[in-house]
Amino acid sequence: MMTEHDRGFSGSRLEEYRAACAQASNEKILVVPGIEYSDAANRVHVLVWGRIPFLGECLPTIEMLKAAQAAGGLAVLAHPSRKEAWRVAEPEWRDHLLGVEVWNRKYDGLAPSRTAPELLDSMDAIPFAGLDFHTQKQSFPLTMALDVEGNISEESVLDSLRARKCSPRAFGLSLSDTLLRSATPALHFAERGRKAVASAVRRSKLLKS
């Protein structure tokens, strides 16, 4: 499953995008297209899948969520730790969100989000995990496992999500697995180290330039 950003997008581009995903799919790989909608401040991002029209750019989040649900789409709040989006989450979103991303490789790094669990509970949503794969740096053993009935198709994938027959996994383990939970403090420690090294490398490059 993938998403394109809403900014600069259009209804005609959505049709081209859907066609490109269909062309890229084969008997071994299915590419399910979606849109990552953002609010005007570019703070809140929501992933939306489903055979629905393009809803527009930079819509107020609740307006977009209602429109997506009315059209039959499925919505997941993306990387709530980014720009502290979790702080502006509204209770009204609860009725329109299927899930909340609890681990996003691009923004959370090597460990799950510290802020997502409380938000997940308040929204009564499904936990999601995603790579946010912009570059090879985001390559990581982080996946969503789906229990799909029948042949694999866009609709059967969406049906499994609607039925909440899915779960996030890391290193092949469910995020609720005892072993993975016990390793989480070490993962957070590793992430702090990774950020420190990355920051030092950036400073070094700036000094050299």
Query: pTM of the predicted model, to two decimals?
Result: 0.93
CA 4/CA 8 separation, integer angstroms: 10
**Predicted local confidence at residue 138, as pLDDT:** 84
* CATH code of domain 4-175: 3.20.20.140
* Mean pLDDT (10-residue bins), the chain, 209 residues: 96 97 96 98 98 97 98 98 96 97 95 94 94 89 94 96 96 93 93 88 79
**Predicted local confidence at residue 208, as pLDDT:** 76
**Predicted local confidence at residue 128, as pLDDT:** 97
Q: What is the DSSP string of 63-74?
A: HHHHHHHHTT-E
**Predicted local confidence at residue 75, as pLDDT:** 98
**Predicted local confidence at residue 197, as pLDDT:** 86
At 76, give phi and psi (nearest 5°).
Answer: -130, 125
Task: Return the number of other C-beta atoms located less than 10 Å from residue 1's C-beta.
Answer: 19
- pLDDT tens track for 61-99: 999 999 999 999 999 999 999 999 999 999 999 999 999
Tabulate helix, strand, coil % of the chain (nearest 5). 45, 20, 40
Listed by start position, the domains of the chain span 4-175
| Percentage, residues of the chain above pLDDT 90 | 89
